[in-house]
Amino acid sequence: MNARAFDLRRAGRHARRLRVRLRALSGLPLLAFLALTGAFSALAHAPYHVQPALIFGLIVLVLTLDDARHRSRPLRAGFARAWAFAAGYFLAGTFWVANAFLVSAQDHAWLIWAPLTLLPGGLALFWGVAGVAYVRLRPRGSARIAAFALIFLAVEALRSGVLSGFPWNLPGHVFVAGAPMSQLASLIGALGLSALTLYAFASPAALLGRGAARVRAYPIMISGLVLGAGWAWGATRLADAESVETGVQLRVVQLDRAQTDLRPEFRDEILDEYLALTTQTGLDEVDLVIWPEGSVPAYLLNEPALLARIREALPLNTRLVAGAPHVEWALDRTPRAYFNALHALKVQDDTLLVEARYDKAKLVPFGEANTLAAFTRPFGLETLSQYGIGFDPGPGPQTLTLGDIPPFAPLICYEVIFSEYASGTNTRPEWLLNISNDSWFGHSAGPSQLLNQAAYRSIEQGLPLVRSATAGMSGLIDPHGRVVHIASTEESQVLDLALIADAGPTLFRQHGHAFWPIIFVFFAGLAQILPRAAQVLTRLSLRPGVAKN
């Protein structure tokens, strides 16, 4: 017996022992175990990136779904098991959202149960449906790994778009952005990388099944081949990558303030801090100053006194991009619409010119907008926004051009987790600008997760990304997703950054999601063809007159 066969048999024995122990569980103990396993699996995401945690979790999920087919009510069992796993997974990955409900604790603290139950429970419904589909199809042998990956990828795609979408912590995000494996996103996007991740991480579950050990090991072998080739290609891509500076100098201003201190009554004090930081030595060499989302808690364009202070403090021809809310008025001078906006301003002799404005289009459900207000209003929840009853959505992705500044795609807060918002509009952007207010979530895992996902937009588009965040992670990411510089999250400071040039169009930037389904279907088909081919070869080797090794 060679070492390879020994390793496969030993792995098979471990898998069989795990399956026996899982079959010994049932009812609520099993669902509790799955929820804990799902929570443990979330360690695969930022800021920890313990990928074996998700490997273990997906193996357990596949084995328990296989067992669900033998229960008296298999579809219900499939839904409950997948839902319980996903509820724990999403709770551990998004629990920090609850911090936002403590900002106005006197009004919203009693609702803290909602982000800790309804959010993970609602996201888990997608995986519950996938569990039903998997059990209903009853895939067998090593082909069931491909079926599992395809089904769960389909629901992840739905989760990314249904009801505004929330593509948070996709399976592909377990790889650190900027590392070799993450470079596959330049070809097939983060969603395509998620397809490979689901297949590869669940592949050890194929060791439990019928047939020879080598046949059952084909999914692992294919996964090893694909991931190994992907890592090698990514490492080569990074080795050949060079960052070329454009000559444009940016000054990113970061203010370290808790969200409880970012209120309209403090706007003068806050503006003083921003101006003091902005006017530090070296401003005459800066081409563009960037303030984060909601930097000044006031309707900036409707506050002549605040605009005058900015104009007087900044040198002539200074360009400033600042996040601040915006209100549009009806003819009778009543508010008609509220927007979470990015304002592009330029200091001129006697005025502060508004060169452009971008209104956030992807609004945070319940945080900035509430389509279910008629149902939640009786319970005291309109939105968490302190402006009116929430914001209105803007028209969608845009590309902004400010004088000699290379055109850029503005992304406010969590818009950066949506691939389609990084492509701009008619004019292709040459860099991405993400302004955010991370103070809502404190020093939790949330800002780290958002930074990692933001970096995937750079990889997909081949564009550098500049980030300015209040009490978050401000800095520069190169076109390959690598962090060039990130500021500390616990101090107010300025970052003077040299803008990096566009690395050229990636396959994903040119064709979007057109290619990854073809690639994944190819490997899924290969996973089914190889075991059958092995069976044919085995039968041929057993025919009389055929020599045996």
Which residues are marked as active site?
Answer: 293, 360, 413
Alpha helices in 293-438 (DSSP H): 304-313, 373-376
Q: Render 238-303 in DSSP notation, one character per residue.
A: HHT----EEEEEEEEEE----GGG-SGGGHHHHHHHHHHHHTSTTGGG-SEEE--TT-SSS-GGG-
Instruction: For tokens 């069976």, name the residue.
Output: 535
In contact, 55 and 204? CB cutoff 8 Å: yes
In contact, 124 and 116? CB cutoff 8 Å: no
In angstroms and rounded to an integer, the radius of gyration of the C-alpha atoms of the chain is 26
- Verify cis geometry, omega within 30 degrees of 0, for the bond prior to 304: no
Instruction: For tokens 């290969």, name the residue.
Output: 526
**Rounded-to-integer distance, Cα 142 and Cα 532, Å:** 10
**What's the sign of the alpha-carbon dihedral 124, 96, 451, 200?**
negative
- How much of the chain is in helix, strand and coil states, percent to nearest 5? 55, 15, 30
Nearest to 170 by CA among 518, 474, 479, 513: 513
**Rounded-to-integer distance, Cα 401 and Cα 3, Å:** 61
Residue type present at position 319: R
Tokens of 373: 């207000």
Strands 475-477, 483-486: pairing is: antiparallel
In contact, 309 and 322? CB cutoff 8 Å: no
Helix axes 185-202, 143-159, angle to 10 degrees: 130
Helix axes 74-94, 113-137, angle to 10 degrees: 140
**Rounded-to-integer distance, Cα 431 and Cα 287, Å:** 15
Indicate the helix (H) or strand (E) that contains 235.
helix 218-239
Helix axes 143-159, 516-541, angle to 10 degrees: 170
Nearest to 358 by CA among 293, 308, 307: 293
Nearest to 321 by CA among 297, 340, 344: 344
- Verify cis geometry, omega within 30 degrees of 0, for the bond prior to 407: no
Q: Tell me 428's DSSP state.
A: P
Indicate the helix (H) or strand (E) that contains 225.
helix 218-239
